[in-house]
Structure 1
Amino acid sequence: MKKGFRVFLALVAVLCLVIAGCGQEKDAEKKAEAPVKEQMAVGFIYVGPIGDGGWTFAQDQARLELEKTLGVKTIYKESCPEGPEVKEIIRNMIDQGAKIIFAGSFGYMDYVEEISKEFPDVKFCHCSGYKQTDNMANYFGRMYEPRFLSGLVAGLKSKTNKIGYVAAFEIPEVIRGINAFTLGVKAVNPEASVNVRWTHTWYDPAKEKEAAKALLDEDCDIIAQHQDTAGPQQAAEERGVFSIGYNSDMKDMAPKAYMTAPVWNWAPYFIDQVKAVQNGTWKTHSFWGGLKDDTVRLADLTSNAPEAAAKEVETYTAKIKDGSFHVFSGPIKDQAGNVKVGENTTMSDKEMLTMDWFVEGVVGKIKSNE
């Protein structure tokens, strides 16, 4: 009887093993048949090298923050020309699984627009442009706000009342920045002027440094800039005067000259857009974030900044954020003394985005207006 029972148990055990084996085989077959879910990739196209310490560096720091926060795979390409070859770079990123691509410079706009129509299922975000399609958005920051704040610092620091500004190209973005900076300077130092020298470069440390030296030769004692290198600030440090940086905190590159810098904080925008793609809620848009959105900031003041600057910066920052002050509210005159923005009037976004004239206090010419 006991022997028979043991045989029965052995048969049951064998049957269980057979059933389990069949189940595992079926599970394995199901797994083999199920499509492998591909990880979404996010593409970034940069106009300069990630080590420039400026524009591209700030974007790449935000890319790294995106990876850390959402755990997504990112692809980036440095020093991409602003020409038709960018289309092949975009196609290559799409082949690698990119579902959303951030194109980080104005000159990519027309090519991104063209590609967006070729790949309607991929989302595109283009920086500093104005074109949109169903799957192409544009984004930028109200850099003119911290530009104004940095102008307060420069205006309070200058003893010669001549401030130099090394500028990139005669486009509305740069002109708007020069104007905002000048309005900040003159808010605290009505006698000061802002002297502009064009380089027609985004990234040329030697040329930008030489432009700063030329301004210093003209008795400027503060150097500001709109390029991606620290060359202008290093020129200021070599002459024993002071500087305002741009894009990122550059204090380590010219520690004896650097006072502060208007800087970018792209991470919140990048994270929001990738989340929207993941959730299936992404829509085309035009984003222009400011101090209130934390898209732009003024970097911490260093000990080189004048004592009175911290209070002025704090006061105006609060007013900009609560809407009681707008950088481009009138009355504002142009270089010739003509009223361009009337009293109790504020420029519209469209007017600011197409700005092609200098405010009173700027010494220099816009090539297209010569």
Structure 2
Amino acid sequence: MTLSRRTFVKVGGAALAMPLLGSRAFAQLEKIKIGFIYVGSINDNGYNYAHNQGRLYVEEQLGDKVETVYVENVPEGPDCERVLRELAQQGCNLIFATSFGFGDSVVKVAPQFPDIAFEHATGYMSGPNIGLYNARFYEGRAVCGTIAGHMSKTGKAGYIGSFPIPEVVMGINSFVLAARKVNPEFTIKPVYISTWNDPAKEADAARAMIDQGIDIVAQHTDGPAALQVAAERGIVGGFGQGADMSAFAPDTQLTAIIDHWGPHYLASAEAVLAGTWAPGNTWEGLKEDVVQMGPYGAKVPEDVRAAADEVKNGQIDGSFHIFTGPIKDNTGTERVAAGVTMTDAELLSMDWYVEGVEQPA
């Protein structure tokens, strides 16, 4: 398995526990230039699109105080180092590397430009001028799972995953835990397609699972192909990933998890302008508005909307955490005792499935 984008793998548990190295002082600026590098296309209608929307948000908020540039479809490897250096040499004061696989390149290039602030999405390696940031996508999965538990007629959902990494496993588990609070017999079938965005593979996976009796499809891949198949086949529905995908399946999307990176990007940009930027390590979610929920589809009943809102609002005010025990894994072993909430380090190294998740083939 190739380390890719949002991958934490086994090092992930240390991500938030790892102390950040001492930072240096940055000068106050009247205007900044920000560079963004994307692993895919800004037109993928998902992950990279969402990051680019964050870039546009900063432009809208800061006006003539900011100039932004971006490079898309940057491979995770040596080519990333070249792009980072070019952005630094073009006068960027702040550079966002939005894929986990860019991490090695960031830690090689950043020390060569100590006056530039670098931030790495979903990474774990920091430095005097390297900050880290991530989003609690699993909180949105809990909202989606609640809707699925109420609306599924078969009690069976399918989940198209990219790679079996902690971030994806965490999302699957969050989804099914929420669904089983509504329907204790609810099950989910994960299928991994070993890529973040391949419309043909996503569509084939959706068709195969629908043929096996699922009537809800969820995904941790970037395109709308699965939703379009769900619409064609007339199942109950599915969920947008990374962005609102209702334009592609208006009667089938039940809601969407929207990655709203704008608030984080704006805060970092304002800190660089003020000369107060320091290499932080953030993992933000619904409360911070970095994770948003899309509008509910027309077919979602009012009582289901209310139940979904309760889960969403509970995560915002801190009264609800989907990973609070008792939680058993899919072999029946208790993993989290009653009343205990999993730590961030435990979540970021999650490599087991909860009850209700069928073991992937």
Normalization by structure 1: what TM-score?
Answer: 0.87
Of residues 188, 192, 212 in structure 2, which corresponds to 1:198? 192
Q: State the alpha-carbon separation in 1 of the partners of residues 250 and 174 from structure 2.
A: 25
Contact kept? 2:252, 2:297, Cα under 8 Å: no
Of residues 304, 312, 316 in structure 2, which corresponds to 1:309? 304
Q: Corresponding residue for 2:108?
A: 114
Q: State the alpha-carbon separation in 2 of the partners of residues 41 and 234 from structure 1.
A: 39
Instruction: Report the secondary structure of 1:246's partner residue.
Output: strand
Gap runs ≥5 in structure 1: 1-36
1:41-87 deviations in Å (ceiling 9; x for gaps): 10111111111111111111111110111121111011111112101
Aligned-pair distance for 1:317? 2.0
Q: Return the structure number with greater relative CO, CA threshold 8 A, min gap 6.
A: 2
Matched AA of 2:143: L
1:208-238 deviations in Å (ceiling 9; x for gaps): 1111111111111111000110011111111
Q: How does 1:1-370 map to 2 (within 5 A)?
A: 40-71=32-63, 72-241=66-235, 242-365=237-360
Gap runs ≥5 in structure 2: 1-28
Higher helix share: 1
User: Over alpha carbons, which structure has the higher Rg?
Assistant: 1
Matched AA of 2:215: D
Q: State the alpha-carbon separation in 2 of the partners of residues 288 and 39 from structure 1.
A: 27
Normalization by structure 2: what TM-score?
Answer: 0.89
Q: State the alpha-carbon separation in 1 of the partners of residues 212 and 102 from structure 2.
A: 36
Structure 1 segments (4+ residues) deviating >3 Å: none
Instruction: Report the secondary structure of 1:194's partner residue.
Output: strand
Q: What is the RMSD of the two structures over their aligned residues, measured on CA atoms? A: 1.4
Aligned-pair distance for 1:201? 0.8
Matched AA of 2:333: N
Aligned-pair distance for 1:194? 0.8
Q: State the alpha-carbon separation in 2 of the partners of residues 340 and 107 from structure 1.
A: 30
Q: State the alpha-carbon separation in 2 of the partners of residues 310 and 176 from structure 1.
A: 23
Contact kept? 1:258, 1:304, Cα under 8 Å: no
Instruction: Report the secondary structure of 1:311's partner residue.
Output: helix
Instruction: Report the secondary structure of 1:314's partner residue.
Output: helix
Aligned-pair distance for 1:38? 9.5
Q: State the alpha-carbon separation in 2 of the partners of residues 298 and 111 from structure 1.
A: 33
Aligned-pair distance for 1:165? 0.5
State the aligned residue count.
330
Contact kept? 1:87, 1:112, Cα under 8 Å: yes
Contact kept? 2:30, 2:273, Cα under 8 Å: no
